[in-house]
Structure 1
Amino acid sequence: MDIDTRRPRARSARILSPLFGAAVTAALLAGCAAPASPTPTVTQTVTAPADPAPTSSPSASSTPTADASPSGIGDVELGAPYDEAVAVAGATPVEACPWLASAEADGYMLTIQRPEVSEQDPAVVDLVQVSASPVELEGKPAAGPMTAEGVGLGSRVDEVLTAYPDAVEIESVGDRRYLAIESEPGTGSVFLTYTAGGDIIWAVTATSLDEPPYESCG
């Protein structure tokens, strides 16, 4: 007897068709529900400011310019026109001795001198000095214009000899003494004044003369 096999195949087809459609539908839904591509992260690079350029500092080996040297003291130079030097220093001519001018500054006296009878026109500075009373300088540190070795008004004789071991002592009138500490050919010399029996330097002089005069206006 022949068996008719057509109906079961048709039935199987009818059963599979809905399953196949469901599978396709599920796949489509899965495709629609797929997560979106992640948003790219934006990275911002921050550049740190460069370190500021280091500030240059003075060299430890640099030597400060001396205020008192064989060429003069402060703004007054030996050999400069006398009238100009007096004006620059703000000094006042001494009425009794017109070849001298003086000014007070920072606790000391500044004196500028030209030759009493000048062979040059205009007359030029041949001496500039700073001085103070030894009593006023007692017990105080050195002050006023300094030499290259830090010697000034109020320095002690032993300090000077330590700084200038080749200093030459010169005796003047009475008890006045000078220490010649620096000299420059064609310019001048620096002298420190003290009183015999004492040890306080009370005058610093730069002059083109052989030594400071005992009295400039007698």
Structure 2
Amino acid sequence: MAHRLLPFTLLATLAAVSACGGGERAEQTGTGEAVLAGNGYTSDQLEQALLTGAPGYQRQGDPDSGEYGTLKAFQDLAQLRRQVTVDRPRCQVGGGGLVGNVEPDVPAALATFTRRDGQTVTETLMGMSDADAEKQVNARVPAGCLTFRTKVGSQWSEHRVAESPRGAIGEGSRTVGVTTLSGGAHTRSWYVVFKARHYVATISVFGANATRQEAERLARQSLAQARQILP
């Protein structure tokens, strides 16, 4: 299903993933569902482990699941990357900067939620080996990329990044906030990436009043929900 994500919401959500490859590869089962080789989870299992609700928010449509590269939100990201100009090349999304790469056949599931004031929450679960998950949690924003500018069409936006030390959500977490000024509008995006057994989760909160506390609260809810479902 198509998820109506604001462009920078999507970028900030996927900023949780660093540019690293390798590790266990996903395979196709006879039913076409994505499954991580070894002891990982299928995309169907990850979808079942998504939050079904969050206080104050309404879920937007049905969750999306399957191979990472087939999800509409991530296909939109690939298209957006081609439209974005970054003033600092090393901070280019998808090029080792804020947003990295995930193997297209990784099992994944995604859900979005909105609040009456327009604030958006995105939850993504991705099947991943423990070694690769550790790399994601240990990833850091490259030096010189804590402030940068992007342009889509003729509109320039300014971004300021705040990155916290490693946290203790799940088996390890990281939290990053991005403040964006675009066309006079001031917005914030906070995301948390945490790892658990055989998967990585990202939670993003986007809106004028988004806070780190809200993102980390939802991340803990995501972890509690997944622990009830995933074996």
Indicate whether the TM-score tops 0.5. no
Higher strand share: 2
Normalising by the residue count of structure 1, what TM-score does the alignment of the two structures yield? 0.25
Normalising by the residue count of structure 2, what TM-score does the alignment of the two structures yield? 0.24
Q: Which structure: larger Rg?
A: 1
